[in-house]
Amino acid sequence: MTKIVVRGGRRLGGRVAVGGSKNAGLPLLFAALLTPERCTIRGLPRVADILTTLHLLQKIGCLVGDDAFEAIMVEARDLTSAEAPYELVKTMRASFLTLGPLVARTGYGRVATPGGCAIGSRPVDIHLAGLERLGATIRQAHGYVEAEAPRLRGARITLDFPSVGATENLMMAATLADGVTEIENAACEPEIEDLAAALVKMGARVAGAGSTLVTVEGVRELGAFDHTVIPDRIEAGTLLIAGAITGGDVTVDGARAEHLDALLAKLEEAGVGVERGVGAVGVRAGACRRATDVRTAPHPGFPTDLQAQFMALMTTAEGRSMITETIFENRFMHVQELVRMGADIRVDGKTALVRGVPRLSGAPVMATDLRASVCLVLAALAAQNTSEIARVYHLDRGYERLEAKLSSLGADVERVRG
Ligand code: EPZ
């Protein structure tokens, strides 16, 4: 089994470049289904979830080409299927984002219902209620959802919760609907703004993305787009925390401070020096950090995708911090693994109480999901002796060349194939 082996205790220093955003890249790829013209997406990370999406698009009949991954071309001219099969949806829930574009463009889509996953039950009811508001007939049977509508029609939709995926699915669906759609209580994540920017390049009329009210005026057809994905704010945040947890001095080139406000404010509260540059963000950390409470929330709140990493940082901070997870009901799977490394953490419902200890100790640990696995790598960087992190396929879903990036900053980390 492949493992990541980390010999901890080295202070990280230097500059490292952030890659393109996985979570912005996925909806951009699905947006290509909205047009028969060839779309070009630049700067996508070469991670498992992006490769799964390309495979899914090919299964539906898209032509996919890549220019050494600098640019990915998707042409959805002659679709041969309107289905996202269970084999792919079960490995990657974002496949559900095929439904909105397919029903909008072809009048029909069939997508496997994603089951629960390691971090929570993650239903898709908000997506489906929104599509129904747009006039789609929804049928659910045999583990699949079918959506059908000769032509969607604009509607006012109020989301029960600002779901990122539902906002993206509905925004895409509404671009080809008859009339105006208003999505209220929309998610405000930077990834939504990036998707809207690409849709506008296709000829869509989208306004308000990045705010809680997104307005889409439907058009008859959409054309090609050429778009460079935004930098991955979660990867950038992870690398900054790698600097902070080792008491290091790390600058992440390409990171956008405005996408990282909530994290940077918490790092400062914890006593980490933060430098917000133009096109770069840096941390200058001393040996000592203050305990800092964090509560995850939809953007612009503290991102759930950085909760595990921040908890790793708090395990050796001075004092007690409360980490509250409000987005997913089961996103503390990393806690017991951190405890195996000597952390003092108690979980009570949605809150983890972390009492800082002077030092973590290296141990063999197991990754349970994408962000949990990277949190263990971060903890291992700060721990004494050697840690081995198993089940690294979780990590490969969303981090590109993580070992190489950390090594370039002075970490002693390698991937060992067993
Ligand atoms: C996106 O997932 C991200 N994934 C997640 O990143 C991220 O954690 C999440 O947004 C929150 O920021 C991608 O962008 C591909 P949601 P998504 O719909 O869209 C509930 C990572 O580590 N909900 O905003 O699936 C849901 O159960 C990943 O990179 C419903 O109840 O998240 C959850 O509790 C993991 N019904 C909450 O809303 C619905 O129909 C937020 O989910 C939809 C969601």
Answer with the one of 228, 256, 276 that is the final residue of a domain: 228
Q: Is the pLDDT of residue 122 over 90?
A: no
- Does residue 163 line the site of ligand 1, with CB under 6 A? yes
- Does residue 120 line the site of ligand 1, with CB under 6 A? yes
Atom in ligand 1 nearest the alpha carbon of residue 328: 34
Please tell me the distance from the alpha carbon of residue 113 to that of residue 98, in angstroms, as a whole number: 12
- CATH code for the domain of 46: 3.65.10.10
- For residue 34, which of 174, 138, 128, 161 has the smallest C-alpha distance? 174
For the segment 139-161, the average pLDDT, to the nearest whole number, is 96
- For residue 262, which of 234, 242, 288 has the smallest C-alpha distance? 234
Please tell me the distance from the alpha carbon of residue 134 to that of residue 147, in angstroms, as a whole number: 11
CB 382 within 8 A of CB 360: yes
Answer with the one of 212, 228, 244 that is the final residue of a domain: 228
For the segment 82-111, the average pLDDT, to the nearest whole number, is 94
Q: For position 1, what pLDDT does the model report?
A: 86
Same domain, 277 and 392: yes
Told to judge if 62 belongs to the known catalytic residues of this protein, a careful annotator would answer no
Q: Is the pLDDT of residue 261 over 70?
A: yes
For the segment 383-401, the average pLDDT, to the nearest whole number, is 95
> What residue's CA is closest to ligand 1, atom 43?
124
CB 374 within 8 A of CB 350: no
Same domain, 186 and 251: no
Q: For position 116, what pLDDT does the model report?
A: 67
User: What's the pTM value of the predicted model, to 2 decimals?
Assistant: 0.98
Same domain, 166 and 100: yes
Same domain, 214 and 240: no
Atom in ligand 1 nearest the alpha carbon of residue 26: 15
What digits encode the pLDDT tens for the residues 50-96?
999 999 999 999 999 988 888 999 999 999 999 999 999 888 999 99
Distance 305 CA to ligand 1 centre (A): 10
Same domain, 267 and 138: no
Q: Which of 39, 117, 288, 375 is catalytic?
A: 117
Answer with the one of 172, 201, 228 that is the final residue of a domain: 228
Q: For position 214, what pLDDT does the model report?
A: 98
> What residue's CA is closest to ligand 1, atom 28?
305
Please tell me the distance from the alpha carbon of residue 288 to that of residue 181, in angstroms, as a whole number: 51
Contacts of 21 (CB under 8 A, 6+ apart): 45, 190, 191, 194, 229, 230, 231, 232, 233, 234, 235
Q: Is the pLDDT of residue 121 over 90?
A: no
* Position 178 confidence tier, pLDDT thresholds 50, 70, 90: very high
Most confident of 64-78, 104-118, 248-262: 248-262
Same domain, 235 and 216: no
Mean pLDDT of the chain: 96
Distance 246 CA to ligand 1 centre (A): 30
Find the domain containing 115 and state its range: 22-228
Same domain, 298 and 277: yes
CA-to-CA separations, 280 to 21, 45, 158, 251, 258, in angstroms, rounded: 15, 19, 36, 7, 11
For the segment 197-214, the average pLDDT, to the nearest whole number, is 98
What digits encode the pLDDT tens for the residues 19-39?
999 999 999 999 999 999 999
- Which is higher by pLDDT, 199 or 118? 199
Strand order in the sheet with 205-207: 156-158, 180-184, 213-217, 205-207
CB 307 within 8 A of CB 332: no
Q: For position 226, what pLDDT does the model report?
A: 98
Give the whole-number percent of the chain exceeding pLDDT 70: 100
Q: What is the β-pairing status of strands 13-17 and 180-184?
A: unpaired
Same domain, 145 and 176: yes
Q: For position 119, what pLDDT does the model report?
A: 82
Q: For position 418, what pLDDT does the model report?
A: 76
Which one of 22, 157, 327, 368 would you pick to mutate in the ligand 1 pocket, going by the greatest count of ligand atoms within 8 A of its CB?
Answer: 327
> What residue's CA is closest to ligand 1, atom 15?
23
Same domain, 215 and 364: no
Provide the domain count of the chain.
2
Site of tokens 């003092």: 344
What digits encode the pLDDT tens for the residues 293-334?
999 999 999 999 999 999 999 999 999 999 999 999 989 999
Same domain, 89 and 209: yes
Please tell me the distance from the alpha carbon of residue 395 to that of residue 391, in angstroms, as a whole number: 8
* Position 131 confidence tier, pLDDT thresholds 50, 70, 90: very high
Same domain, 39 and 129: yes
Atom in ligand 1 nearest the alpha carbon of residue 126: 40
For the segment 395-409, the average pLDDT, to the nearest whole number, is 96
> What residue's CA is closest to ligand 1, atom 27?
122
> What residue's CA is closest to ligand 1, atom 20?
122
Question: SS3 of 177, please?
Answer: coil
Q: Is the pLDDT of residue 335 over 90?
A: yes
Same domain, 244 and 377: yes
